[in-house]
Amino acid sequence: MDQRRTDQKRADQRRTDQRRAAQQRRRRRPAQGRRQARRRRKRNLILKTGFLIILIVAAIAAFFLWRRYGPSDEPADRNAYYGIESEGQVAVVVNNEVLEPTAVISDGRAYVEYSTVRDYINSRFYWDPAENILLYTLPTDTVRVDVGASEYTLANQKTGTDYVILRTEGSTAYIALDFIAQYTDMSYEVFTDPDRAVVVTETEEMTAEVKRDTSVRYQAGVKSPVLTEVSKGDTVALIEDEGDWKKVRTQDGYIGYLKKNRLRDEEKTTYDRGFEEQQYTNITKDYTINMAWHNVTNSDANSSVLEMIASTKGLTTISPTWFHVADTAGNLTSIASAEYVNYAHQSNIEVWAAIRDFDGGISSQEESLALLSSTTSRTNLINQLMSAVFQTGVDGINVDFEMISEECGEHYIQFIRELSVQCRKNNIVLSVDNYVPQNYNRQYHREEQGVVADYVVIMGYDEHYGGSPVAGSVASYDFVKAGIENTLADVPAEKVINGVPFFTRVWEETPKTEEEIAAAQGTDAAEYTMNVTSTAYGMAEARSVAEQAGAQITWDETTQQNYATWEANGVTYEVWLEDAQSLEPRLKLMKEYGLAGTAAWRLGQETSDIWELIVQYVN
């Protein structure tokens, strides 16, 4: 009994303990849940915060990456791009070059400043500010326009237009684009905002189509400012590659860069504007020219022509030095002789009389500039020259102007154009003498000579001239070859005559004294330690000087000339001989390059064997 009660109490106690434990568990469970929930919320907050931080960091990184590598939409300053600084300025774009604002708009038309027209659009326009006239030389006449006129004169006939052709602001001349286009194979259009005239004179260029709307940038890079926008289907002219970019010109005159993958259908486009270029016809002889200059210093010397001709063989052309410019007004000094011409013609030799701007009358760059920069003076000279030509019956004119400065270049070539008109109309051969091409004589405009003149003559000598500070060859082989090759870069071979020397120089060298060296410090002369003088001789005389001195004459492979040096009385002598052996390689160059012929300065300085050699190459 007692045992049962004890067991019952124990059972009740267990049940009670179990209920209490269950109650405690029930009480603990919400607290644990809350703690777990709090832990979960905390963990989620940490995760969300971390994710948000990652997103922020990523966004910041993307922002900076975008700023560094993403395309910019910053617009370029278009006025600055075109160089426009004030209202009224009009920019000029010619082909693939943005030029300074050198145009104006007047009465709704665009006018371009003369120097821009001359240098970039059409070099045959010529402006004379002293006489206020604009000239344009055609093959057989010259167009003339006066300032403020709505008409122009050609062949004494006036033709009107519905606009003013030529305007001036001070001493600056502006030519209407409409008038320029009348004589130029070009297209043009005028745009606003900013104001600009876009001129294209190219007859063919590479073009491409734009794939989709995109930006043209100032430089090759997505961060470069945007010049303009182009649309899908637009055509742009291709200028050059730069990595993944193409330099292009848009149709409205922006020159900038497009990504290559924005372009398609690259092709060569030819522009046929229906422009008919006037042809500058020329006289071309059907034989190889063998010309020699005859240095005639006075009228009495003309009587030597028969003797001179008799000593030659195969001579086709003789050029007597008859004409000199007397003064800057364009007056002519002449010792021309009709009898001389008759004697030459009886020997089947043409006479191309030389006119010079030195050695009589004017003789300086300043005087040649004063002469040639005046339309009135040029006209006077040409008229007098043609009158002398008609009186004597000469076959051609040989222009030997050697006093042409860089400033005078545009006036000189205008003189050649105007003279060519008269020669062309009267069937007179026009030949023009030129130095071996160098950077410092580009003002002679050989390329234009090659169009308007019949023949372009290279004076392939004076490599080392009378006043040279060092001794050397008058016409070494490489010097002559370079002269021919550089001339052919501008002039067709069938118009080129290569002049060779019949003379050579004997050089005398003496060391400078210490006083002379000290006096030369700070000048160009300081680099030369020798005093150098020379004397010009004909072929036979030069060889005789060397032989009489007992010098050994040896062949120099570099210059392709016979060379000698000797000393006497403290003086060193040197000579690079001109003779048949040195002339032959130069005649071979004439044949190799298919030139029109050869010329020689000057008649009477050669040895008799020279003509036998020349005949082998001109026949």
Q: 512-564 pLDDT, tens per residue? A: 999 999 999 999 999 999 999 999 999 999 999 999 999 999 999 999 999 99
Q: Are 406 and 439 in contact (CB under 8 A)?
A: no
d(CA 252, CA 190): 8
Q: Is residue 557 part of a domain?
A: no
pLDDT band at residue 440 using 50, 70 and 90 as cut-offs: very high
- Determine which helix (DSSP H) or strand (DSSP E) holds 266, and give its type and residue range: strand 263-270
pLDDT, averaged across the chain: 94
Q: Is residue 50 part of a domain?
A: no
458: which residues sit within 8 A by CB, 6+ positions away? 434, 436, 483, 484, 487, 496, 497, 498, 499
Q: Is residue 93 part of a domain?
A: yes
Tokens representing 206 are 């590479």
Q: Is residue 543 part of a domain?
A: no
Would you say residue 4 has pLDDT above 80?
Answer: no
HSE value, Cβ hemisphere, 13 Å, CA-based, for 301 = 12
Is there a single domain that holds both residue 385 and residue 301? yes
Beta bridge partners of 542: none
Identity at 594, one-letter amino acid code: G
HSE value, Cβ hemisphere, 13 Å, CA-based, for 334 = 19
Cα angle: 114, vertex 115, 119; to 5 degrees: 120
377: which residues sit within 8 A by CB, 6+ positions away? 328, 329, 330, 370, 371
Q: Is residue 199 part of a domain?
A: no
pLDDT at 398: 99
HSE value, Cβ hemisphere, 13 Å, CA-based, for 217 = 20
Is there a single domain that holds both residue 159 and residue 260? no
Residue ranges making up the domain that contains 187: 79-191
pLDDT at 67: 56
Beta bridge partners of 332: 325
120 DSSP assignment: I
Pick 53 or 368 by higher pLDDT: 368
Beta bridge partners of 555: 562
Given the structure tokens 């005859």, which residue do they identify?
294
* 130: CATH: 3.30.457.10
Is there a single domain that holds both residue 225 and residue 324? no
Q: Is residue 407 part of a domain?
A: yes
Q: Are 332 and 326 in contact (CB under 8 A)?
A: yes
Is there a single domain that holds both residue 293 and residue 265? no
Q: Are 433 and 446 in contact (CB under 8 A)?
A: no
Residue that terminates a domain, selected from 191, 218, 250: 191
Tokens representing 152 are 């122009």
Total tally of structural domains belonging to the chain: 3
222: which residues sit within 8 A by CB, 6+ positions away? 69, 70, 71, 72
pTM > 0.85: yes or no:
yes
HSE value, Cβ hemisphere, 13 Å, CA-based, for 82 = 29
pLDDT at 15: 76
* 460: CATH: 3.20.20.80
185: which residues sit within 8 A by CB, 6+ positions away? 201, 203, 273, 275, 277
d(CA 335, CA 323): 7
Is there a single domain that holds both residue 217 and residue 156? no
pLDDT at 1: 55
Is there a single domain that holds both residue 488 and residue 395? yes
Strand residue runs (E) in 358-482: 396-400, 429-435, 455-459
Is there a single domain that holds both residue 244 and residue 319? no
Q: Are 396 and 351 in contact (CB under 8 A)?
A: yes
- What would the mean pLDDT of 461-479 be, rounded to a whole number? 97
d(CA 546, CA 506): 9
pLDDT band at residue 25 using 50, 70 and 90 as cut-offs: low
For the sheet with 142-146, list strands across it.
125-128, 133-137, 142-146, 151-154, 157-160
Pick 102 or 63 by higher pLDDT: 102
Is there a single domain that holds both residue 341 and residue 419? yes
